[in-house]
Chains A and B, each alone.
Chain A
Amino acid sequence: MKLKNIKISTILIYLTFIVIAVIVFGPLLITFFAAFKTSLEYAKDFSWKLPSGLYLDNFVTVFKEGKMVLGFKNSMILVIFTILINTVLASMVAYILARFEFKFKKLFMFVFLLGMLVPSFVTEIARFGLIKSFGAYNTIAAPIIIYAGTDLMQIYIYRQFINAIPISLDQSARMDGCSYFGIYRRIIMPNIIPAIATLAILKMVEIINDMYIPYLYMPAERLRTLTTALMSFAGSKSGIFVELSAGVVLVMLPTLLIYLFFSKYILKGVVAGAVKE
């Protein structure tokens, strides 16, 4: 009886796994296949049929007309600057919140919490005027300031990591004459490198995939990111599914590759962000 029970549940589990895999990979594979088909082939065959050969013209078109290289470059600029600024600022705040007591600490933490509750999509209406008055509208600085200045979840995660570092390390360094800044640089920073890696990867994915902020603040053609480049490419290619598919595949590729190599970090970061809020 017991044995039979285990068997049924095992089968049920694997069945679920297979269904999940089909649901996840099915749409991706079909799009991938379409990217290598000619329009004629796409119209004629079922879409789950393998392409007849390695037809690459769709990708050539995307590169030529889709401004994907430019998009990639701009996305990378956003990623690098945001992550640099973000890591420094968030870890500094987290260090202060984890190790020091001061007058307005409660208020400070309340404001950070508030930031997580405010729906970011709609506050953009008010933020928009602000960015414009700085003259940052339609420059690459606009998304960087917004990404770097408003990410609050990170502070909480860094703080958890800093809390896990024994405070006796701080104290003995202090006894040896180390300044508080020195403690931050020599003790805190090296100890939160795993957290930095995790959060940087997550942030990278988030920025590459974001459409809303670049769409709103950087309408200029030379400021296209991967995502907004895909949008304008798709706008000019409506109905030509094979070329659009190639564009979609190209834009999906960077984050998929990141995930392929760093899935462990990403999963850990997402879980840490939510579960220990």
Chain B
Amino acid sequence: MKDYAEKRLLIILFLVIPSILLSLFVVYPTIRLLQLSFTNWNGLSNNMDFIGLKNYIKIFTDSPKVWLSLKNNGIYFTVHLLAIPLEIFIAFLLSSKIRGSRFFETVTFLPYIVNGVAISYMFSMLYSTQGGTINQILSVFNIPAVKWLSDPNLVNFSLTGVTLWRFCGMHIILFLAAIKSVPGDILEAAEIDGASLFQQYIRIILPNIRLVVEIVLFLNVRGALQVFDVPFVMTGGGPGHASSTFTLHTIETAFTFNHFGLASAMATVLMLLIIMISYVQQLLMGGKEQ
């Protein structure tokens, strides 16, 4: 009986602070977000009116900027999605027991730990039309200068280049860990049977790392729909609204224009989008496996 009381006390003592923090900073804001999304709160005043679905109706019928932003998120999402097979292949190459592979593993992951804001400024300078390195390289080949960040049709791809630089290495390391957990004797047997590198990749590696692929797909949805710091620092969403993203637009709606109600509705839509797309991806992955 004494044992039971002690156990109970410990469980309560150890969980009480984390529970409070979690309720306050994760659970409450999520519920509050839903609640605010049905109001016209301006973020400052004490009173807010319940306005039903008006915010949601506005998002879906009268907010071209929201859709433009979401389309830009789509660019990040698609480009990173397309990069995944290449990432897996590079991870596969890195997994071979070759002199220096450890070192290159470290190098590959390096961009992920570099300060994102510093990276953004770094690439702003590289993309610059005034003596930026990339245009200098082009000039060596007599290619005219390109307006990487001020051409509305190009800017999102330029920015996606930055996020690729930043995150591909991390994905590669995750894939690499998964590949390393594939039993070596399977690969050896395949090699003895004369399977080429490419065949090993398709037939053995891919099916065996499904779980990590799912995780990276989830990270990609989350990451691509929440892109913030790179466009915020590099273009501020410009030129015009050409490189705005959903998060950027939401934050602007809330903190610049004080439309907290509307911004909350946008945030809720974003949350639902992340859950929906992740779910669809999971279904597709499952379907392929069977």
Q: Which residues of A contact B (CB under 8 A)?
A: 5, 9-10, 12-14, 16-17, 20-21, 23-25, 27-28, 30-31, 34, 42-43, 46-48, 89-90, 92-93, 95-96, 100, 102, 108, 111-112, 114-115, 117-130, 145-146, 148-150, 179-181, 184, 205, 208-209, 211-212, 216, 226-227, 230-231, 234, 239, 241, 244-245, 247-248, 251-252, 255-256, 258-259, 263, 266-267, 270-271, 274-275, 277
Chain B residues whose CB sits within 8 angstroms of the CB of A100 once the complex forms: 7, 10-11
Chain A residues whose CB sits within 8 angstroms of the CB of B169 once the complex forms: 24
A150 B22 Cβ-Cβ under 8 A: yes
Chain A residues whose CB sits within 8 angstroms of the CB of B114 once the complex forms: 28, 209, 252, 255-256
Chain B residues whose CB sits within 8 angstroms of the CB of A208 once the complex forms: 115
User: Assuming A13-B93, A244-B121, A252-B114, is B107 touching A122 (CB within 8 A)?
Assistant: no
A31 to B114, CA, bound (A): 13
A127 to B264, CA, bound (A): 11
B15 within 8 A of A: yes
- Determine which of A48, A92, A115, A119 lies in contact with B22 in the assembled complex, contact meaning CB atoms within 8 Å: A115
B250 A17 Cβ-Cβ under 8 A: no
A270 B267 Cβ-Cβ under 8 A: no
Chain B 107-131 interface residues, beta-carbon cutoff 8 Å to A = 107-118, 121-123, 125-126, 128, 130-131
B14 A275 Cβ-Cβ under 8 A: no
The size class of the interface chain B forms with chain A is 35 or more
Chain A residues whose CB sits within 8 angstroms of the CB of B109 once the complex forms: 263, 266-267, 270
A47 B247 Cβ-Cβ under 8 A: no
B6 A21 Cβ-Cβ under 8 A: no
Interface string of B84-116 (1 = CB under 8 A from A): 000000100100101011001111111111111
Q: How many pairs of A and B residues are in contact by the CB < 8 Å rule?
A: 244
Chain B 1-58 interface residues, beta-carbon cutoff 8 Å to A = 6-8, 10-11, 14-15, 17-19, 21-22, 24-30, 32-33, 36, 43
Name 5 A/B residue pairs within 8 A (Cβ), A-sorted.
A9-B96, A27-B133, A127-B25, A255-B115, A256-B114
B149 within 8 A of A: no
A256 B113 Cβ-Cβ under 8 A: yes
Task: Tell me how far the C-beta of B21 lies from the nearest C-beta in chain A, rounded to whole angstroms.
Answer: 3
B146 within 8 A of A: no
Chain B 243-269 interface residues, beta-carbon cutoff 8 Å to A = 247, 250-251, 254-255, 260, 263-264, 266-267
Task: Tell me how far the C-beta of A62 lies from the nearest C-beta in chain B, rounded to whole angstroms.
Answer: 12
- Determine which of B26, B136, B211 lies in contact with A118 in the assembled complex, contact meaning CB atoms within 8 Å: B26
